[in-house]
Chains A and B, each alone.
Chain A
């Protein structure tokens, strides 16, 4: 997974891997929650 990182510093690469690995699922979950929230609001408004 580390190949795409624009760094050769192992500490920076490891930190970036941790941030991306935790961040992407969290962002994904937030997007799903936002979609659910919006669809419920739309249903309630109709």
Chain B
């Protein structure tokens, strides 16, 4: 697929806007980028997922390095989740390739590409959840000491996570959690931090800072594995990746700089509205 200079400029702009929110609010942004690439720019699903995850390597690298330097990565937690993440990425990519191979289906008198239909439903659910979550968080102080409410401390193969101060946690539950994140990355092209961080905090009782740091390392791993998988089938476009990286890396720096100067609490509402706008684009393009 080739891109015109105008398209590349627009993609750089989109990368910059999403990067700005990433730097401002500490979110990855893949859940917005991939649907915009597919539904706004009409980029094929596999190319959008592969290229989106490749640019996530560039965006996530700095965050992971900073969290590691500050000691906020639990390497044991990362190590036990990693096999699940890697297996999940393979499963996610396989599911997407299978959906693409199924072609079109007829539904309520309209023809839909099955892959596009399934992805749009999943994106709509995710964007809706994110909009509700960020709207609810508006104006609230972010807790850094949240502890587990569900705490999956029972189950088979219990292990301890000393760095996180967790005495026992089910290895199977951690692997399942990693598997879910891997499937999300391979199928939807999203890092999954917005799902992983609440899971680690409320599911396993991991302290918030360690959950954020370890999550960024896990997202980096899934981004690298997914990029490799999609590069193998020639579904990573370098011009697209470079255009997105140009915008997003600049946007992240401006967002991070602004985050110290703006009342971020109120910007959660703006972000929730942006998520709703992206959901509307997905919906209109699906039926358009």
Can you list 25 A-B contacts (CB < 8 A)?
A1-B231, A17-B232, A20-B238, A21-B54, A21-B227, A21-B230, A21-B238, A21-B241, A22-B227, A24-B54, A25-B55, A25-B57, A25-B61, A25-B241, A26-B58, A28-B58, A28-B249, A29-B58, A29-B61, A29-B62, A32-B62, A32-B249, A33-B61, A33-B65, A36-B62
The answer to whether the Cβ of A14 comes within 8 Å of any Cβ in the partner chain is yes
Q: Which chain B residues (54-73) contact chain A, with CB distance < 8 Å?
A: 54-59, 61-62, 65
Interface of A is mostly: helix
The answer to whether the Cβ of B245 comes within 8 Å of any Cβ in the partner chain is yes
With A18-B228, A32-B249 known as contacts, the answer to whether A1 contacts B236 (CB < 8 A) is yes
The answer to whether the Cβ of B163 comes within 8 Å of any Cβ in the partner chain is no
Chain A residues near B147 (CB-CB < 8 A): none
B interface with A by C-beta (< 8 Å): 50, 54-59, 61-62, 65, 224, 227-228, 230-232, 234, 236-238, 241-242, 245, 249, 253
Q: A25-B56, A29-B62 are in contact. List 8 more A-B contacts (CB 8 A).
A: A18-B231, A21-B238, A22-B228, A25-B55, A25-B227, A29-B59, A32-B62, A33-B65
The 10 residue pairs across chains A and B that have the minimum distance between CB atoms: A29-B61, A21-B231, A25-B57, A25-B58, A21-B236, A17-B231, A18-B231, A29-B58, A28-B58, A18-B228
With A1-B236, A1-B237, A20-B238 known as contacts, the answer to whether A25 contacts B245 (CB < 8 A) is yes
- Contact at A25–B231, with CB atoms within 8 Å? no
Chain A residues near B59 (CB-CB < 8 A): 29
A4 to chain B, nearest CB (A): 9
With A28-B58, A29-B62, A33-B65 known as contacts, the answer to whether A22 contacts B224 (CB < 8 A) is yes
Partner of B232, one of A18, A26, A29, A33: A18
Q: Cα distance A14–B58 when bound, in Å?
A: 21
B136 to chain A, nearest CB (A): 33
Q: Cα distance A26–B231 when bound, in Å?
A: 15
A-B contact count (CB 8 A): 68
With A18-B228, A18-B231 known as contacts, the answer to whether A24 contacts B242 (CB < 8 A) is yes
A31 to chain B, nearest CB (A): 9
The answer to whether the Cβ of A30 comes within 8 Å of any Cβ in the partner chain is yes
- Contact at B231–A22, with CB atoms within 8 Å? yes
Q: Cα distance A22–B222 when bound, in Å?
A: 12
Chain B residues near A24 (CB-CB < 8 A): 54, 238, 241-242
B228 to chain A, nearest CB (A): 5
Q: Cα distance A20–B237 when bound, in Å?
A: 11
